[in-house]
Amino acid sequence: MAEKILFVDDDVNLLASCERNLRRRYPLETAVGGELGLQKIAASGPYAVVVSDMQMPGMNGIQFLSAVKERAPETVRMMLTGNADVEVATGVVNQGNIFRFLTKPVPPDVLAKALDDALAQHRLIVAEKELLNKTLS
């Protein structure tokens, strides 16, 4: 199965830009806001990687990525935000077990490298889980 990536943000222009710039390289889906992101995960998941904005109405990125962790623990979670506040970054990493914290605007090559690293991390997580299941059975 293809390793899908989900981008969640309240900025439809940013989501469209991500689709344009990354869709040739990755199987990519988007959702406008945390609630729609969780609905998409329930309906179309699992996703190898979920990238979320921090500041979204209704549900911020910490809340969203914490919910993703509960529903899909193998999914690698990343934060992409315009808010580079150290306190926010610490909260995101500690509460949501975030793989990467990137600040906007992120150059396309830096984002692609982070996505490649996240996909590699996802493969390791899945391989470890399969190995443990084989060992226990």
Condensed to tens digits (0 to 9), the pLDDT of residues 77-96 reads 999 888 766 676 676 676 65
Nearest to 83 by CA among 95, 75, 92, 74: 92
Across 24-43, b (16+ Cβ under 10 Å) vs e yields eebebbbbebbbebbebbee
Condensed to tens digits (0 to 9), the pLDDT of residues 99-133 reads 998 888 889 899 999 999 999 999 999 998 888 88
